[in-house]
Chains A and B, each alone.
Chain A
């Protein structure tokens, strides 16, 4: 049995989950990585993507749109700008998010905004299978 660590996922509006997890797959800005207990302390920003939490009772998936993750000695916490449980992610919600991202891309016309929109589309494809 692998070591467990404390995992928290919070958004500004609520705490989505707080569980003991064996591993957490985090969509970091510089690439995905998996945090397990005893992971070296890291702070990283997130890109839009799918966050997977493996607990003793199974795997939970969440859609996050950005924010940052902190992996520390005591556990891992992800502070997401917006986060949704996979079950709550509907086609309409995805569409709204992507539409919003595209608007931003058109308005800002920066690489950051473009990458955000692309990442979101990729995450949408991933979560809807």
Chain B
């Protein structure tokens, strides 16, 4: 029979765990609202931008276009940009992104490609370090960032563009989580270099625009920004997903702790009763013996 004292301590500790998870859930809920607002505020820009880009890109023939759009002709070295959270305790959020990246990396390596990895967010680095530590070419630390800004994204984009120009990789893909709802976030893989706008819906009617300066010049100017824009919206989606995942993970944890407390309390009461019954038996049998 478990010791009463041990049980009591156990109940107390699970209770304080429940308090913590409950608090974390509420913090995540508040942060989620903010992250969602940020993601929604960023959406009009990304949508317009991609629509215009799709239109511009549609007019470019495949061999004369800028490298960022048509690629540099090679398909050998792939850079995987894995974007995860800086903190854990958010369910399968980080794990799912890392898993998707891991599968993609293995697939590319099986095809004989060279894989390089850039991690954004501490948890992704930790998850991939053991297996792909030697493939990592860098890490972006956002743990000091209080509020995600476009500057963070353009910093990452700048880094990518420099590496691309130096010929460090041929194809870049980002891995992040799209926010569907609080209970569902989908890990997503998206190619950003060379830019791929095939999934963007073409605008309602093909307007014939005048381009000022030339179409090519605009494209050359906008393509680097497109990289930054895509990274920025991925970061925002990721932010909302992280908080959503944490909220539901902590909600589950709180509920589990509650169930555990109930179970332990029943056990505690039973053992207490058993102890009392035992004592009574001892007293009665002692009295009978006299």
Interface residues of A (CB under 8 A from B): 8, 10-15, 28-30, 40-45, 67-68, 70, 72-73, 77, 79, 81-82
Distance A12 CA – B233 CA, assembled complex (angstroms): 8
Contact B150–A44 (Cβ < 8 Å): no
**B212 in contact (CB, < 8 A):** yes
The contact of A79 among B49, B56, B153, B210, by CB within 8 Å, is: B49
Contact A11–B207 (Cβ < 8 Å): no
Contact A12–B45 (Cβ < 8 Å): yes
Q: A15-B41, A28-B212 are in contact. Are A70 and B48 (CB under 8 A)?
A: yes
Number of interface residues of B (CB under 8 A): 28
Contact A30–B212 (Cβ < 8 Å): yes
Report the minimal beta-carbon distance from B275 to chain A, rounded to whole angstroms: 64
Contact A14–B48 (Cβ < 8 Å): no
Interface residues of B (CB under 8 A from A): 38, 41-42, 44-46, 48-49, 52, 56, 149-150, 153, 207-213, 217-218, 221-222, 225, 228-229, 232
Q: Which B residue's beta carbon lies closest to that of A42? A: B210
Contact A40–B210 (Cβ < 8 Å): yes
Contact A14–B52 (Cβ < 8 Å): no
Distance A43 CA – B42 CA, assembled complex (angstroms): 21
Report the minimal beta-carbon distance from A12 to chain B, rounded to whole angstroms: 4
Contact B221–A45 (Cβ < 8 Å): yes
Distance A79 CA – B45 CA, assembled complex (angstroms): 7
The contact of A43 among B45, B52, B228, by CB within 8 Å, is: B52
Distance A28 CA – B49 CA, assembled complex (angstroms): 17
Contact A68–B52 (Cβ < 8 Å): yes
Chain B interface helix/strand/loop/mixed: helix
Contact A11–B150 (Cβ < 8 Å): yes
Distance A29 CA – B211 CA, assembled complex (angstroms): 11
Distance A67 CA – B45 CA, assembled complex (angstroms): 11
Distance A79 CA – B217 CA, assembled complex (angstroms): 17
Q: Inside 8 A of B44's CB, which chain A residues have their CB? A: 8, 10, 15
Contact B218–A72 (Cβ < 8 Å): no
Contact A13–B209 (Cβ < 8 Å): no
The contact of A30 among B42, B153, B213, B225, by CB within 8 Å, is: B213
Report the minimal beta-carbon distance from B57 to chain A, rounded to whole angstroms: 13
Contact A77–B212 (Cβ < 8 Å): no
Q: Inside 8 A of B49's CB, which chain A residues have their CB? A: 79
Report the minimal beta-carbon distance from A4 to chain B, rounded to whole angstroms: 20
Q: Which A residue's beta carbon lies closest to that of B228? A: A12
Other A-B pairs, 4, CB within 8 Å; known A12-B42, A12-B150, A72-B209: A13-B45, A13-B150, A43-B212, A79-B48
Q: Inside 8 A of B52's CB, which chain A residues have their CB? A: 43, 68, 70, 79
Contact A41–B212 (Cβ < 8 Å): no
Q: A68-B218, A72-B207, A73-B207 are in contact. Are A45 and B213 (CB under 8 A)?
A: yes
Q: Which B residue's beta carbon lies closest to that of A15? A: B44
Contact B38–A77 (Cβ < 8 Å): no
Report the minimal beta-carbon distance from A65 to chain B, rounded to whole angstroms: 11
Q: Inside 8 A of A42's CB, which chain B residues have their CB? A: 209-212
Q: Which of B41, B45, B56, B228 has the most CB of A within 10 A?
A: B45
The contact of B213 among A10, A12, A29, A79, by CB within 8 Å, is: A29
Distance A68 CA – B46 CA, assembled complex (angstroms): 13
Report the minimal beta-carbon distance from A57 to chain B, rounded to whole angstroms: 22
Distance A29 CA – B49 CA, assembled complex (angstroms): 18
